[in-house]
Structures are given as structure tokens and as C-alpha cells.
Amino acid sequence: MPFNLPGIILFIILTARLFSAPENKQEPPQEIFKKAEFPGGRQALNSYIDTHLIIPAIAFERRDNKEVIFGADIIIRVAMDGSVKILKLQKMHVQPNDPAVISAVKMELQKFIQQMPKWMPATKGGTPVAALDTISFIESYAPDVNFAAYQKLKNIPPADKPKNTVISSADLKTKDGKRVYTFVQSPPVFPGGDKALQTYLVQNLAYLRQSNEKLVVLHLVINEKGETEDIKVVKPQGITLNSAEVEAVLQKMPIWSPGKQNNWPIPVSYTLPIR
């Protein structure tokens, strides 16, 4: 029986293709996720905890000659606008183990988080997203440290003097040489609050809304008069943006209510993420 040579060749080609290794298909690049961050990073967060999280006096009053321990893991949710909310308190370390002390500690932690400045929100592919994070801390004080000594250790100021809060890493100063603070008891407030600020930005910086919706960060100083100065624009790659135009718009902002420490108006650095 004669061989059909073209048919044999076609069979060999088809069989080779059938058993050949599958082609490597390139997967689409995954969007990069970046965690939420406290302004200035973890070191700044630790400094903020040290200067702003205060052990309630009742813990020292009811210690019964034992050391005072104050610690917890705080599960927080950082929203897309950078605002922070407590979701859960876990692994609380409180001594004395007294119901009134524990209640006072929980109230202090709630107050601490509510007064915390806005974080830089987490981003996915350059777009802000809500995300969870954990703040952990623990402090302990020997039996011979009373509340008055604790206040001195924490540098808690008298009511008539502003406290030296955490300074920005660059040790910023205003145009007239005054020190700029990063964290204060009462942050600067735009006239009408956050909603009015967002409205102002949308109306005056509408061209920032790019199709890729990447995050643009504005750094500025609100001086003790409520005026804006030292404006800086941080923009990601892929955004065409005239920083000088943005700075000009921010310089024309209405006067803010300045930040205060113990009712003293002081210059404060302000970070504003927008998209």
C-alpha cells in the first residue's frame, strides 16, 4: 500500500503542536497598593502618641502603690479623605485593672483618635481607597511616679503657655522666622469647615480632575494669622500640572481660623490630599 507522504507530514506537524508547551501569557500588571500613612511616617506617629496620648489621672489615683501600665492595639479605618475612625480596641494593657480606670482609658483613646490629624490615605493604582491599620503602644510608670511627675515627664504645659509640639522634620519656619508646628490641640480650620474647603478646591482647581484620578498632595503652612504660605505641590508621574497656578489659587484662599495650642494661635503645617 503506497504511503501518502503529505498526509504523514501534516499529521506530524499537528501532533507536535498538540504536545508542545503552552505559551507563556503575560498577565496584566497588578495595580500597586500603598498603605495609609500618618503625616511624616511611623516615627512622626510615635512622637505624636508620646506627646498627645495622656494617661488619665484616675489611673495614678487608684494604683495602690503599683506601677501604671497603659497600652493597646487600636484597629483604625483610614477613609479615602484621610480621616481616621476607631474600629476596635484589642490587647488592652491597663493597670490598675479598675472598671473606672478602664472606662477613662477608653474615653481617652476615643478622644485621641478623634483629634488626630488626617492621614495620607491608602492608594491603589494611584487612587485613594479606604484601608485598615493598627496603632500599637504601651507605657509603664514605676510606683514612685505620681501624676504631677508624669505631667512633668510628658511636658504637659500650664494653661497659659503653648506647648512645644512635634516639629516637622524639616524644622519649618514662617516667612518672619516663627517655628511651624505639625501637631496641635486645635488644627487650622477653613471657613465653613472641610465641606467648604472641598467645594473651594473643586471650584478653583477643577482642572486637577484628571481621567486617571491620581492623588495630588498639597503641603502648606497656615500661619498664626490664618494666612496660607510656603505652598508645595506633590504630583505623581503622569499628571500634567502647573504648580505655579495651584499655588496662586491657594494663596488667594480666604483667611483660615489658625491652629491653636492652649488657645494660643501658632503656625501649623497642613497636608491636603486631593484628586
Q: Are residues 183 and 137 in the same domain?
A: no
What pTM was computed for the model?
A: 0.49
Range of the domain at 201: 161-275
**Are 174 and 261 found together in one domain?**
yes
Distance CA 118, CA 2 (A): 85
Asked whether residue 203 falls in the same domain as residue 222, the answer is yes
Judgement on whether residues 198 and 89 belong to the same structural domain of the protein: no
In a domain, 16, yes or no: no
Q: Distance (Å, rounded) from C-alpha 20 to C-alpha 15?
A: 9
Task: Find residue 135's DSSP bridge partners.
Answer: 74
In a domain, 132, yes or no: yes
The tens digit of pLDDT for each residue in 114-145 reads: 888 889 999 988 889 999 999 988 888 888 88
Whether residues 146 and 208 share a domain: the answer is no
The count of domains in the chain is: 2
**pLDDT (mean) for 138-160:** 71
Find out whether 219 and 234 touch, Cβ atoms under 8 Å. Answer: yes
Domain termination site, one of 156, 191, 213: 156
Same domain, 147 and 230: no
Is 12 contained in some domain? Answer: no
Among 117, 133, 156, residue at a domain's last position:
156
pLDDT, position 154: 67
Which pLDDT value is given to residue 174? 61
Is 8 domain-assigned? no
pLDDT for residue 233 = 74
Contact (CB, 8 A) for 121 and 273: yes
Q: Please tell me the predicted confidence (pLDDT) of residue 163.
A: 47
33-34 and 68-78 strand pairing = unpaired
Domain boundary among 110, 127, 156: 156
* Cis peptide, bond prior to residue 28, ω within 30 of zero: no
Q: Are residues 198 and 226 in the same domain?
A: yes
d(CA 272, CA 3): 80
Judge whether 9 lies within some domain: no
One-character DSSP codes across 31-55: PPEE--B-TT-HHHHHHHHHHH---
Co-location of 181 and 146 in the same domain: no
CA atoms of 153 and 58, how far apart (whole Å): 17
Tell me, what's the pLDDT at 30?
64
pLDDT tens digits, 161-170:
444 444 443 4
Q: Is the pLDDT of residue 106 over 70?
A: yes
Instruction: Tell me whether residue 234 is in a domain.
Output: yes
> Residue 95's beta-bridge partner residues?
69
Shared domain for 188 and 92, answered yes or no, is: no
* Residues 36 and 149 occupy one common structural domain: yes
Tell me, yes or no, whether 126 and 184 share the same domain.
Answer: no
Residue 5 lies in a domain: no
Residue 96 and residue 62 in contact, taking contact as beta carbons nearer than 8 Å? yes
Q: Which grid coordinates belong to 186?
A: 486645635
Mean pLDDT within 156-179:
51
